[in-house]
Structure 1
Amino acid sequence: MIFEQTPTVIGHRGAGSGDVPVPGRGTVAENTLASILAAAETGLSWVEIDVTRTSDDRLVLRHDPTGPDGNFLVEGTAEASGLPSLEEIFAATPTDIALDLDVKTVLEDAVDAPSRRTGALLLPLLRREAKRRRLMVTSFDPGLLVFLRDELPEVPVGLLTWLRFPLWHGVSAAAGLGLQAVALHTASCGFEHPDTRLRSLEHNVATAHKAGLDVMVWCPKAAEAARYADAGVDAMVVNEVPGVLAALGR
């Protein structure tokens, strides 16, 4: 199992997506060291961050393929982007904070030399950092996950599924790929959008566990957190960190 507490609460992009007001810190921006530290100060042991690559083969923290200026990150340098680099975040984040890297591959990964693709650039950083802290990698790109599964088996990997992605596909795909986790969007789970084709979340989670998978859900609201906990999910990636912790009685 990946997570020491069920369900583990993971801060989404740090303390939450977008600009998040934090008592004593003002407003912190997502995917920054300040946001990661703010999440940790609420008692979280895991934080999720987004990672993508730039033209000079660096990895920076950003959810979208474009930067704040609208330019495609893969067409400019890391320095020009003004975004924190993954190396900087690894160096500055206390090692008792575990990191879930949501890796965003780019179109150029289909055609660039293998040594320049996102997975290849990430591999040596992960290999070094895995000696210092708990890590995992999640991604919508199964090719990246299979690459890392084979090259660095000590770091668990999980398949992210998109909005209202059928659970019967997501769970079976993650198991068939030999991954350690499946990460389901909350809209896929049947609470927000009931689906007569979908068996209960409890049934799906139990099946995933039988297949050897941890089940993560993103991003349930605080009002729904207890229902996900009752369904047996292993982790929740959340924006409403204080609210979810309160809903779980923590």
Structure 2
Amino acid sequence: MIFDRPEVIGHRGAGRGVVDGARENTTASFHAAVAAGAGWVEVDVRRTRDDALVVYHDEKLPDGRVIVDLTAAECTAAGVATLDEILTALPSEVGIDFDVKTVMEDALCPQHRRTVSLLAPRLREQRDGTRPRRMFVSSFDPSVPLAVRDEAPGVPVAWMPYVRGSIDQALPGAVGMGCDVVCLDARALGVAGADPDPTHRSIGYAVDLAHRAGLAVVSWCPDPVDSVRFVDAGVDAVVVDDVPGTVAALKER
């Protein structure tokens, strides 16, 4: 099993942006998420011009420079952490969701230079170490799970249909790609207070169907209230910005 449900996964660490002085996708943010009770963290992975891997969500830096146009040294100078730095800093018992941010330029690169292929050796290291790390690889790019299956077999993979992508396509799509996990945006499941969509089945029905198909279900960016609702419906893990609030809400559940 991938998850000891329910799992809390810190979104970009302790949450997007700056949370209590810790900027997202930094060692400080990941450590803060773990200290607040998250057993896992989500790590955004991008490649640089010289084929290093850095941890950054957006395509561009605040000054407008594009990550894939910069060298690793330029990214470091701008305060962007390398993936190796983060892997060294995180204890092996902390699970990692590697969120692969493929870039447009991957379409023209030979396979060995694509973002997911640069990540594959790290995945094999984490898989084969003396203390194998709990992990899975997720992406909006449906080619990523297929590549991981070929280049780092045995590492669980997840498809993330974009934001409000239909669950009707998400579940059979994830199964068809051989995924272990399907990641669903909270808005696709239906957040509290929103008008229910009369054309959708219940969350519990969808999660039960996913489980029967062999998929674990992760929801990203629910608030604490929706995290409890989703876990009650059978969701296995939630990727959240409010780690302490979610941990407390689930403990009270």
TM range (shorter): over 0.9
> Would you say the 8 A contact 1:12–1:238 is kept in 2?
yes
Q: Pick from 69, 87, 92: which aligns with 1:75?
A: 69
- Look up the match of 1:8: 7
Could you tell me which amino acid in structure 1 is paired with residue 115 of structure 2?
Answer: T
Percent sequence identity over aligned pairs: 46
- The 3-state SS of whatever aligns with 1:249 is helix
- The 3-state SS of whatever aligns with 1:52 is strand
- The 3-state SS of whatever aligns with 1:15 is coil
60-69 or 10-19, which moves further after superposition? Answer: 60-69
Q: Pick from 231, 236, 239: which aligns with 1:237?
A: 239
> Would you say the 8 A contact 1:187–1:193 is kept in 2?
no
Residues 1:175 and 1:214: Cα distance change in structure 2 (over 3 Å): same
> Would you say the 8 A contact 1:135–1:156 is kept in 2?
yes
Q: Name the CA distance, whole Å, in 2 between partners of 1:97 and 1:197.
A: 39
- Look up the match of 2:178: 178
- Look up the match of 2:92: 95
Q: Name the CA distance, whole Å, in 2 between partners of 1:193 and 1:8.
A: 27
- Look up the match of 2:226: 224
- Look up the match of 1:111: 108
> Would you say the 8 A contact 2:117–2:151 is kept in 1?
no
Q: Name the CA distance, whole Å, in 2 between partners of 1:108 and 1:194.
A: 40
- The 3-state SS of whatever aligns with 1:229 is helix
**Runs of 4 or more off by more than 4 Å in structure 1?**
none
- The 3-state SS of whatever aligns with 2:251 is coil
What runs of 5+ residues in structure 2 fail to find an aligned partner? Answer: none
- The 3-state SS of whatever aligns with 1:248 is helix
Could you tell me how far 1:129 is from its partner in structure 2? 2.0
> Would you say the 8 A contact 1:16–1:240 is kept in 2?
yes
- Look up the match of 1:143: 143
* Aligned alpha-carbon RMSD (Å): 1.2
Could you tell me how far 1:138 is from its partner in structure 2? 0.5
> Would you say the 8 A contact 1:163–1:185 is kept in 2?
yes
Q: Name the CA distance, whole Å, in 2 between partners of 1:215 and 1:171.
A: 10
- The 3-state SS of whatever aligns with 2:30 is helix
Q: Name the CA distance, whole Å, in 2 between partners of 1:3 and 1:153.
A: 18
Could you tell me how far 1:199 is from its partner in structure 2? 0.5
Q: Could you report, residue by residue, the CA deviation over 1:147-203 in whole angstroms, capped at 9, with x for unpaired residues?
A: 101222221010012221110111110011110000000010123452222100101
Q: Could you report, residue by residue, the CA deviation over 1:89-122 in whole angstroms, capped at 9, with x for unpaired residues?
A: 1112111111111110000111111111111111
Q: Pick from 22, 26, 32: which aligns with 1:32?
A: 26
Could you tell me how far 1:222 is from its partner in structure 2? 1.1
Residues 1:216 and 1:12: Cα distance change in structure 2 (over 3 Å): same
In the superposition, the TM-score normalised over structure 2's length comes to: 0.93
- The 3-state SS of whatever aligns with 2:198 is coil
Could you tell me which amino acid in structure 1 is paired with residue 204 of structure 2?
Answer: E
- Look up the match of 1:160: 160
In the superposition, the TM-score normalised over structure 1's length comes to: 0.94
Count of aligned positions: 244
62-71 or 167-176, which moves further after superposition? Answer: 62-71
Q: Name the CA distance, whole Å, in 1 between partners of 2:243 and 2:196.
A: 25
> Would you say the 8 A contact 1:190–1:198 is kept in 2?
no
- Look up the match of 1:24: none
